[in-house]
Amino acid sequence: MLLLVGLGNPGREYAGNRHNIGFMTIEAIAREHRFAPFRARFKGRVAEGQIAGEKVILLQPETYMNDSGRSVREAAQFHKIARSDIVVFHDELDLAPGKLRVKVGGGDAGHNGLRSITAHMGKDYKRIRLGIGHPGDKAMVHAYVLNDFGKAEKAWVQSLCETIARNAALIVGGDDTGLQNKTHLAMTAAGFGDVKTLGGA
């Protein structure tokens, strides 16, 4: 059994924020693989289903980003899921828009959601880093991540989330390199292989 966690903030006002691309990815996976409807559990929204014959729990913590670890810990403890079977999708400032990278463990790079999960669970869980680009000035980061994707960005965001959802069997199978390669090829084929601009609001 795997626990796939998307990071974001709850509520309509945050739904389109760059910080919520983890939520968007989880919702795309639920649609693609026809998971049961989301319901309230573990201080979050949970949906259950199967991918490639494996039982999978999807989780969107609703504790706000800074306290995501409480929700992840409750879900993992209830289902007896090891850290090695937890996969967290999150926005990544240090990757170009539309890029995807997978890593296990490591630091939180200033991401409050990761910091909270590490505090509650330890650091040895898998992170799928979803590039949103950097505003270019550290002082602008807070406002940047808590603003909605611009109109020009929405096409690549949708393409990235749907590509991950279509290739979720690679996540279940632990094929990190395969997921990165498939995503790169799909995004390039869709015309998003080199997104240089972050788009306007």
DSSP the chain: -EEEEE----SGGGTTBGGGHHHHHHHHHHHHTTPPPPEEETTEEEEEEEETTEEEEEEEE-S-GGGHHHHHHHHHHHHT--GGGEEEEEEETTS-TT-EEEEES---TT-HHHHHHHHHH-S-SEEEEEE----SSGGGHHHHHTSBPPTTTHHHHHHHHHHHHHTHHHHHTT-HHHHHHHHHHHHHHTT-TT-------
* Active-site annotation holder among 19, 33, 90, 111: 19
Contacts of residue 136, defined as CB under 8 A and 6 or more positions apart, other chains included, come to none
79 carries an active-site annotation: no
β pairing state of 86-92 and 126-131: parallel
Please list the active-site residues: 19
